[in-house]
Amino acid sequence: MTHPSYTAIHTPIRRTKIVATLGPASDRDGVLEAMLNAGVDVVRLNFSHGSADDHRQRLTRVREIADRLGRSVAALGDLQGPKIRIARFQSGAVTLAEGQAFVLDMAMDGDAGTAERVGCDYKTLADDVTAGDRLLLDDGRLVLDVTRVAGQQIHTRVVVGGKLSNNKGINKQGGGLSAPALTDKDKADLKTAVAIGVDYLAVSFPRSAADMQEARELLGAAGAEIGLVAKLERAEAVADTATLNGIIEASEAVMVARGDLGVEIGDAQLIGTQKRIIKQARTLNRAVITATQMMESMIESPLPTRAEVFDVANAVLDGTDAVMLSAETAAGDFPVETIEAMN
């Protein structure tokens, strides 16, 4: 008896790109080449960490390996932006208890923090908050309610306590902080990004199309034509359709930066906002990257959770052009396995 022959089933073509952040984990021997072999389409150079020479060396290695493998791998430079952070504690960390008073003191020495008060690197924060505002520290893990503002001191009451260590970020729920999108460090890093030859440049915390236009003018002054990616992290950026569309149209791509954005608008609002951003970007013919905690558990685990698998799949079904890995590949124990799982 003869059996009918069947055509072999080919591996589906993956149309959604994978962006992987470089860092100490990818610097280990053989890891970067294995990452590129596993399916990385874009490498991210995070200017929040590392020196100009670190970024130059990493990108040089990417170009060399990609040429040898016959692969096209793009480079995304990611500017830090005005990430507002507390200063440092004398002991390195403190524990805040629910209900206790805690002061953010703009005039305080940067290394003198205690369990009662700490300094801040954004010296005009007291001008941006009033009694009744809610501040979120360390990506929302700790919550403070502002009780009063006295000169350069912001007096708060701890709503959700916990361990607080040096240099953790501060967000204001609902947005409204006036820090400019491009700091002096960003302007210096922009020149570095141009010099080392990145293909795209991500601008952090833009509030409007004007912030993206400023970045484009700085690129023009540096003699570079590099695609701009707007990282949507501020509540103001997604507050209304006109502002969102303006930012999208002023960029070559946008990033749904779910970390800071989720802290500012809340997780319940973030779900629909992600879908709205992706839809608007596609309508306006711009690329869109979905980022933050895509496979966070794989920093320490060789396998993703089912929730992470569903999260990545849902972003793809929403129509995202790329998904991004951050600490998973920059500092995790399983960078190659993470890319293989995402692939």
Q: Which one of the listed residues 21, 44, 88, 156 is annotated catalytic? A: 44
CB 191 within 8 A of CB 251: no
Q: Which one of the listed residues 231, 234, 258, 286 is annotated catalytic? A: 231
Q: Which one of the listed residues 290, 292, 329, 338 is annotated catalytic? A: 292
Helices 209-221 and 241-249, axial angle in degrees (round to 10): 20
Q: Among candidates 17, 9, 64, 52, which has minimal Cα distance to 291? A: 17
* Catalytic (active site) residue 216: no
Instruction: Dump the DSSP string for 173-210.
Output: TT------SS-HHHHHHHHHHHHHT-SEEEEES--SHH
* Catalytic (active site) residue 320: no
CB 94 within 8 A of CB 141: no
CB 263 within 8 A of CB 136: yes
Rounded CA separation 307/294 (Å):
10
269 in helix, strand or coil?
A: helix
* Catalytic (active site) residue 44: yes
Rounded CA separation 5/41 (Å):
36
Q: Quote the radius of gyration of the chain (alpha carbons, Å).
A: 21
Rounded CA separation 118/137 (Å):
12
Q: Which one of the listed residues 61, 85, 185, 282 is annotated catalytic? A: 85
* Catalytic (active site) residue 231: yes
CB atoms closer than 10 angstroms to residue 99: 9
Q: What are the tokens at 121? A: 């690197």
The residues annotated as belonging to the active site are: 44, 85, 231, 292
